[in-house]
Amino acid sequence: MSARPHYRASPCPATASAWGAPAPAEARPRALRFCVQLRLHFHFRSRGGQGRRQRHGPRATGSSSKMISLSIKRPLVTMSFLLSSLLMLLTVATPSWCQRSETTSPTASNRAPFPWNKMRLPEHITPVHYDLVIHANLTTLTFGGTTEIEITASKPTSTIVLHSHHLQISKAALRKGAGERQSEELLRVLEYPPQEQIALLAPEPLVVGLPYTIVIDYAGNLSESFHGFYKSTYRTKEGEVRILASTQFEPTAARMAFPCFDEPAFKASFSIKIRREPRHLAISNMPLVKSVTVAEGLVEDHFDVTVRMSTYLVAFIVSDFKSVSKMTKSGVKVSVYAVPDKINQADYALDAAVTLLEFYEDYFSIPYPLSKQDLAAIPDFQSGAMENWGLTTYRESSLLFDAEKSSASSKLGITMTVSHELAHQWFGNLVTMEWWNDLWLNEGFAKFMEFVSVSVTHPELKVEDYFFDKCFNAMEVDALNSSHPVSTPVENPAQIREIFDEVSYEKGACILNMLRDYLGADAFKSGIVKYLQKYSYKNTKNEDLWNSMASICPTDGTQRMDGFCSRGEHSSSSSHWRQEGLDVKTMMNTWTLQKGFPLITITVRGRNVHVKQEHYVKGPDDAPETGYLWHVPLTFITSNSDSVQRFLLKTRTDVLILPEEVEWIKFNVGMNGFYIVHYEDDGWDSLTGLLKGTHTAISSSDRASLINSAFQLVSIGKLSIEKALDLSLYLKHETEIMPVFQGLNELIPMYKLMEKRDVNEVETQFKAFLIGLLRDLIDKQTWTDEGSISERILRSQLLLLACVRKYQPCVQKAEGYFRRWQEANGNLSLPSDVTLAVFAVGAQNPEGWDFLYSKYQSSLSSTEKNQIEFALCITHNKEKLQWLLEQSFKGDTIKTQEFPNILRAIGRNPVGYPLAWQFLRENWNKLVQKFELGSNSIAYMVMGTTNQFSTRAWLEEVKEFFSSLKENGSQLRCVQQTIETIEENIRWMDKNFDKIRVWLQNEKLELL
């Protein structure tokens, strides 16, 4: 999924910050973290934010991710709109609650003993093929079905255990053998809801090797949540409400639509038949073969047989969607489906999908195995997007592009989300992780391939400007003790949902990028193609990927020796390079099997460079050492040479010898490594001097990584806040999006913490300092849609920041635009890049707020709706904020899928955050029922309402509430994360606040 989260972070730091709203999922519903995240559901099935520094991004996509996404999935991708910026992060992770003891004997719902006591299904029954007949009644909001499953047994057993959740089973039978004359025996059915399992008891044991068919008749209600087979609605231009039914099965909800062996390793083929009214359209994973009238007013659509795949990838939709189609060069029919009033917004995604599908077929050297690929925009969707094989599904904002109103960040987010889901057709669908503990093999790869593919297919988007923000985002989560390894044990559905987070998506992508940089792009590509070809239609574990890389050598002068790649003396560096085997598996296990990442400390003594690694982790100073070691592919450049030097650090300490002494040295070139660097003695002074003198001597990604590292080092006491702030002063001369956004990502959360401490004088001074720092760049921005995507996204966020911070030249211009737009009854075409700033200013008076809401109700543009939604959330009128919470939770005019975004935005509002926290507490049970315990949406809301608290009183209130939930949330990883983050906020403010106050007084903005 896209990630993600999918959710949007606050519009840029500024935005959210200033007004207290957040900056703007595949999916985990499935977004770029900075402002650009504007709701880019980057399969970000999206994500949680960490305390002092808020991150953007939904799957969301997206979102994946997700993202964010936020696949992600997506969720929170999962990300389609600028509102997604700095203050966003959907974070999830596995809970630590204890599992049911293996020795207890479960009791079925009829009080009979249930014959299986494990969360995972037994392995001796294997599904081979499913025949599904499903009839959805969109009037009664119910569905009925018959599932026939061909199975084989690897050992004699009279018990068949499979999954079923919220289904009423009326009959179960067993057919023995193949052919026409199969005998049929009734099976006794036992249900065990705690494990979402049923047991079918046969009169006699199944014979090993013989084919059997289970036949189950059942019924259910269309789900009122966003998972399983669920109801979605939309309103036509004329105001008519129409109903459709769609599916979202990942990770564990196929069992809500039909009884099945709902684990990824139980791959099978599927023949699907959907019954519908003639006025509706049904689509599924495979092309339609024929339609048969089975009764008056009832049509049965027969779809072609699928390839072997996991249950979570099955999909079907019953709707009145319209579609547009194109063919790829290899003859695959690509179609985009949407509600009739929005099908005119499908062209951009259609063209992108065709281009991306052709790219992947070429890159992977494996043809796309189906004859069609549908992309469907669903009006109600939790994450950013979902990679169902042959029928990918999306939030409307993650797929539909309105050429008149959609923003630059929306175009970027849609492209990335589509790229993410299509990458999954190979990584995830063709080759699938054996169990959810290795989810990152799906999501990390899809997130990584977003950037690999789009950099080639859409070079004008300059996606490389946004990749490393994903790594900074992942580090925020991975620096906490509550983080988890990339590959981590999970058992129950809530635990599984929790790992659709930054670690699986973003960290997974970042360590793959690090490996590609180390091996070389060609060698890396050869390894993953080998992996895909070897394991097509199969399931894999972490080690299978590394084994596929084992015979691949780096492309920079290495050679094969005894099954390993060996480096000889490295001519371009010092004689310190020694013969060493390159063991990819051992190296990468240090990055996937232990949590966290290393801090590399550099001490220069003449020509000798002393290197030390330790586990970077936030927390109390007396926290015990973990003793973790990584194999770190170090890279560096110096003042004397911009030729990248490489060294694999395997030990805690080592020494590099330079050919001559240097003025400065910069490690982690291009931020390709997943580690941060501290420079001892005068190392930071040298780099700060470099930035203030000729900052373009190093790349924009290197400048962004220096900003990130400096402030991260403040958090653990390695660098003073004064030195970090001194370094940030160079931003007065910065013009590139990556370092500017990174500066905002570091500085805005500082005054967000101050807003919750009643320190108005220093808070006001700090906000003035920030605007002064960027004033020259703000003043240079035109109020147009001109320039590259990066320039446009930077413009949108800077103007939003300036207006929200009440920088008068910006406010006055925005007021003029808003007045003319309102006088034209919303029909004036505003430049999309300045719309967010204009709406943010317009929403500050009650009449403007009411006018924006009236336009929200009738708008058909996802970007415009998201921009209005954000603007509505930054008012300081508490009554309007409370009304927004209630309306979005109810889901009539404002869809409930938007509630997490609105709750988080109000949670960032300096007058609204107590309302958001109170609303979360009062409606917790309903929220869990709607969004599911463990989902990234829940994590996004928990973090969004609490993780900027910075006082002990707030900490105690948060602890007290979540501990009272017991099994209904107290052990969620996001709860552990937010408590850790609040504790870190308190430590950080206690240590640094007075220093910031003095620094601001000393500066008196003279240097600006």
Residues in the chain: 1008
Strands 269-276 and 125-137: parallel
What is the tally of helices (H) and strands (E) in the chain? 28, 32
- Surface-to-core class of residue 111, CB atoms within 10 Å of its CB (0-12 exposed, 13-18 middle, 19+ buried): exposed
Which residues are the active-site residues?
A: 421
Query: Distance between CA atoms of 92 and 53, rounded to whole angstroms?
Result: 17
Residue 914, C-beta contacts closer than 8 angstroms, at least 6 positions apart: none
Query: Distance between CA atoms of 153 and 1004, rounded to whole angstroms?
Result: 78
With CA atoms as reference, report the closest residue to 509 among 984, 42, 977, 40: 42
- Token representation of residue 788: 């590259």
Q: Where is 242: in which H helix or E strand? A: strand 241-248
Q: Angle at the Cα of 927 (from 960 to 869), degrees rounded to 5?
A: 110
With CA atoms as reference, report the closest residue to 840 among 806, 809, 808: 806
- Cα torsion angle, 13, 979, 960, 751, sign: negative
**Terminal C-alpha separation, the chain:** 45
Query: Distance between CA atoms of 944 and 57, rounded to whole angstroms?
Result: 13
With CA atoms as reference, report the closest residue to 3 among 82, 58, 81, 83: 58
Query: Distance between CA atoms of 996 and 999, rounded to whole angstroms?
Result: 5
Exposure string for 931-951, b = 16+ CB within 10 A, e = fewer: bbbbbbbbbbbbbbbbbbbbb
Residue 545, C-beta contacts closer than 8 angstroms, at least 6 positions apart: 441, 528, 531
Neighbours of 292 (CB within 10 A): 11
With CA atoms as reference, report the closest residue to 843 among 833, 831, 855, 832: 855
Determine the 3-state secondary structure of 807 from DSSP: coil
How many CA atoms lie within 13 Å of 91's alpha carbon, on the beta-carbon side? 39
- Cα torsion angle, 414, 416, 421, 422, sign: positive
Residue with tokens 């038949």, as numbered in its chain: 273
How many CA atoms lie within 13 Å of 396's alpha carbon, on the beta-carbon side? 28
**Which residues, in sequence order, are bridge partners of residue 614?**
599
Contacts of 962-966 with CB under 8 Å at 24 or more apart are 965/924
With CA atoms as reference, report the closest residue to 750 among 776, 725, 785: 725
Neighbour order of strands in the sheet with 676-679: 653-657, 608-616, 597-605, 676-679
Q: Where is 158: in which H helix or E strand? A: strand 157-163
532 residue type, one letter:
L
Query: Distance between CA atoms of 152 and 728, rounded to whole angstroms?
Result: 65
- Token representation of residue 648: 């694999």
Residue with tokens 């609650």, as numbered in its chain: 97
Contact 28, 101 (CB under 8 A): no
DSSP one-letter code for 213:
E
Determine the 3-state secondary structure of 427 from DSSP: strand
Contact 629, 990 (CB under 8 A): no
With CA atoms as reference, report the closest residue to 384 among 32, 90, 56, 70: 70
Determine the 3-state secondary structure of 45 from DSSP: coil
